[in-house]
């Protein structure tokens, strides 16, 4: 489970994975489906292999209760991951998301990023974490320079 939790780095990924697990829990006791095929067809691509390994490890077909329990356990793990908000001027590009993902993975600490957009930012970012705000924007930089120079 930890391998999956370490790979979830954005709120969108968490929500997508949670939505998949909810769907799996609704369908799991349907005798007409193969759980492995259901995972292949519906799991988020980034997590597909890890989800199969976690949910189906040591579980034979017919052990739906155990898989259901593991799904609940994974969802509970997703809920408690701390979240930071990263506000930037535009919607994040795939490259921006990947850079942030790589940085967060390198810290070894599980944390989710929620990207928000604020067009009033000239550049830089605003980071919110546990009620604290860290502004690293050009607007903040110029305001501090103005205060320091008495303008």
For 118-137, the pLDDT digits (tens) are 988 878 889 998 889 988 87
pTM to 2 decimals? 0.78
Per DSSP, 10 falls in state B
Confidence of residue 42 (pLDDT cuts 50, 70, 90): very high
Query: Within 13 Å, how many C-alpha atoms sit on residue 86's CB side?
Result: 19
- Per-domain boundaries in the chain: 2-79, 83-148
Residues 136, 123: Cα–Cα separation, whole Å: 8
Residues 61, 52: Cα–Cα separation, whole Å: 13
For 54-66, the pLDDT digits (tens) are 988 865 555 888 8
Tell me phi and psi for residue 116, to 5 degrees. Answer: -130, 160
Residues 39, 52: Cα–Cα separation, whole Å: 7
Mean pLDDT computed over 140-150: 75
pLDDT value at 70 more than 80: yes
Residue 73 in tokens: 């356990």
Residues 8, 20: Cα–Cα separation, whole Å: 14
pLDDT value at 108 more than 70: yes
Q: Sheet containing 132-137: give its strands across.
A: 112-117, 83-88, 124-129, 132-137
pLDDT value at 8 more than 80: yes
């Amino acid at each position: 489970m930890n391998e999956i939790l370490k790979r979830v780095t954005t709120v969108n990924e968490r929500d997508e994975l949670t939505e998949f697990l909810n769907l799996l829990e609704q369908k799991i006791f349907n005798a007409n489906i193969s759980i492995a095929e259901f995972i292949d067809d519906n799991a988020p691509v980034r997590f597909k292999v890890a989800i199969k390994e976690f949910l189906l490890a040591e579980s034979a077909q017919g052990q739906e209760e155990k898989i259901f329990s593991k799904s609940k356990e994974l969802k509970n793990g997703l809920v408690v991951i701390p979240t930071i908000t990263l506000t930037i001027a535009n919607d994040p590009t795939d490259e921006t998301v990947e850079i942030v993902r790589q940085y967060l993975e390198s810290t070894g600490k599980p944390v989710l990023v929620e990207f928000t957009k604020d067009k009033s930012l000239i550049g830089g970012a605003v980071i919110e974490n546990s009620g604290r705000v860290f502004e690293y924007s050009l607007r903040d930089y110029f305001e501090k320079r103005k205060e320091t120079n008495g303008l």
